[in-house]
Amino acid sequence: MKIIKAQVAVIGAGPSGLLLGQLLAKQGISNIILEKVTGEYVLGRIRAGILEQGFVDLVREAGVVDRMVAEGEVHEGFNIAINGHCVRIDMKKLSDGDSVVCYGQVEITRDLMEARQAAGLSTYYEVEGVKLKNVTSDNPSVTYTHAGEKYELQCDYIAGCDGFHGVSRPTIPAELRIEHERIYPFGWLGVLSDTPPVSDELIYCKHQRGFALASMRSATRSRYYIQVPLSDRVEDWPDDAFWDELKKRLPPEAAARLVTGPSIEKSIAPLRSFICEPMQYGNLFLVGDAAHIVPPTGAKGLNLAASDVATLYKVLLRVYKEGDKECIKQYSEIALRRVWHGERFSWWMTNMLHNFDDMGSHDLEGATFARFMESELSYYLASQAGQKVIAEQYVGLPYEELAPLDTRS
């Protein structure tokens, strides 16, 4: 067994692990990242790319913001269409000047990966058999196999950034964990295509035929989604069928502008709300998808991962710069407060924008639930106060600071 050491062991090289690793390294806090798959595989996962200001600021602090600033597009508003009628949510006006940046998650991950490599920081890809040991002691460690050799990584803290299917969350004993879950009775069929987007701002469409979303990656690359039954498979949706259905759900002006083309990626994603409490066990911290999943309707997945990273970064800075080990107890509570807000927003947007007609929800028959949600959405869209509620959450709620250092002792 080869023994290696770092102050922080990071499990998973998705956006959470890479961002945390970069921030810590900039502060001189040593860290090693362990990743199960290859770097190329990580970059093959297509995901949303709407970034809150807090996320952008964090990436700036990590020193990896240049390409995002050059290529990302600032969005000051987005649209919600009900049965073809579009309402623009003016985020900038309604949230006191905030906006979001549209920049693909794959690009952020690539930027972080390249920065880590350029700085000569250690990431072990294709590790096997990762096990977390003694996480409640002062000497936690992680054992794994890499290139046929067995390793033990000895550390002070472990950041579980290993996604929903990782090993970190199950390390917390089941009797200490509460898991909240809602699986929605439909999925999103997504298509990426090298065609100009129908609009320079996103359009979330509530339609009798089902939800649709018009999004983009650049001026020449579009990303579209439609709500489909969970039983549908990608093979059921040749490109032409997808474009026909999308056109029916978009508002007429947007449908008229739709440019179609061959899909370069097509996949169906299930929708899930999931929260694990607590997000901490001894010296193990859960970060991002390892602790929570949101349905993609509010574009909050990556942004909630970023606020976890921000909180853990503040905790570890205080531990290593000010010697305050007690502050680690604040992590789970602070992270979860913001997670619950993001979860509620994503759940609310999902309920209001999708078609639950045949399905029902909350013990209500489908048609009744649908009418409640239709009323809810039109009520919020009809006033500036209502639109502000949506805008403030879409641009992202503020990050919470740690409680001040107790200087009495």
Active site residues: 75, 204, 296, 300, 394
Strand partners, 275: 180, 292
- How far is 97 from 321, CA to CA, in rounded Å? 34
Judged by CB under 6 A, the chain residues 281 through 300 that form the site for ligand PHB are: 296-299
State yes or no: residue 130 binds ligand APR (CB under 6 A).
yes
Identity of the residue, 36 or 223, whose beta carbon is nearer to ligand PHB in the bound complex: 223
**Is the Cβ–Cβ distance between 214 and 197 less than 8 Å?**
yes
Residue 162: contacted member of ligand APR, ligand PHB, none (CB under 5 to 8 Å, by partner type): ligand APR
Instruction: Please report how close the Cβ of residue 296 comes to ligand PHB at its closest, in angstroms.
Output: 4
Query: What are the distances in angstroms from CA 366 to CA 230, 360, 370?
Result: 16, 3, 6
- How far is 49 from 71, CA to CA, in rounded Å? 12
What's the residue count for the chain? 409
State yes or no: residue 215 binds ligand PHB (CB under 6 A).
yes
Q: Which two tokens stand for residue 91?
A: 């985020």
Q: Which two tokens stand for residue 310?
A: 């921000």
- Please give the DSSP secondary-structure letter assigned to residue 354: S
**Is the Cβ–Cβ distance between 153 and 127 less than 8 Å?**
no
**Is the Cβ–Cβ distance between 3 and 32 less than 8 Å?**
no
H or E segment to which residue 175 belongs: none
Binding test (CB under 6 A) with ligand APR, winner from 162, 201, 277, 343: 162
Judged by CB under 6 A, the chain residues 293 through 312 that form the site for ligand APR are: 301-302, 305
Identity of the residue, 12 or 77, whose beta carbon is nearer to ligand APR in the bound complex: 12
**Is the Cβ–Cβ distance between 303 and 17 less than 8 Å?**
no
**Is the Cβ–Cβ distance between 266 and 189 less than 8 Å?**
yes
Stretch touching ligand APR by CB under 6 A, among 31-39, 272-280, 323-331, 387-395: 31-39
- How far is 384 from 26, CA to CA, in rounded Å? 42
**Site size for ligand APR, by CB under 6 A?**
27
Residue 64: contacted member of ligand APR, ligand PHB, none (CB under 5 to 8 Å, by partner type): none
Residue 396: contacted member of ligand APR, ligand PHB, none (CB under 5 to 8 Å, by partner type): none
State yes or no: residue 14 binds ligand APR (CB under 6 A).
yes
State yes or no: residue 214 binds ligand PHB (CB under 6 A).
no
Binding test (CB under 6 A) with ligand APR, winner from 8, 10, 34, 155: 34
Stretch touching ligand APR by CB under 6 A, among 36-44, 89-97, 257-265, 325-333: 36-44
Identity of the residue, 8 or 294, whose beta carbon is nearer to ligand PHB in the bound complex: 294
Instruction: Please report how close the Cβ of residue 260 comes to ligand APR at its closest, in angstroms.
Output: 27
Task: Count the alpha carbons within 13 Å of 11 in the hemisphere toward its beta carbon.
Answer: 32
Q: Which two tokens stand for residue 113?
A: 């990966």
Which residues lie near ligand APR (CB under 6 A)?
11-17, 34-37, 42, 47, 105, 127, 130, 161-163, 165-167, 288-289, 301-302, 305
- Give residues in contact with ligand PHB (CB under 6 A): 48-50, 202, 213, 215, 223, 296-299
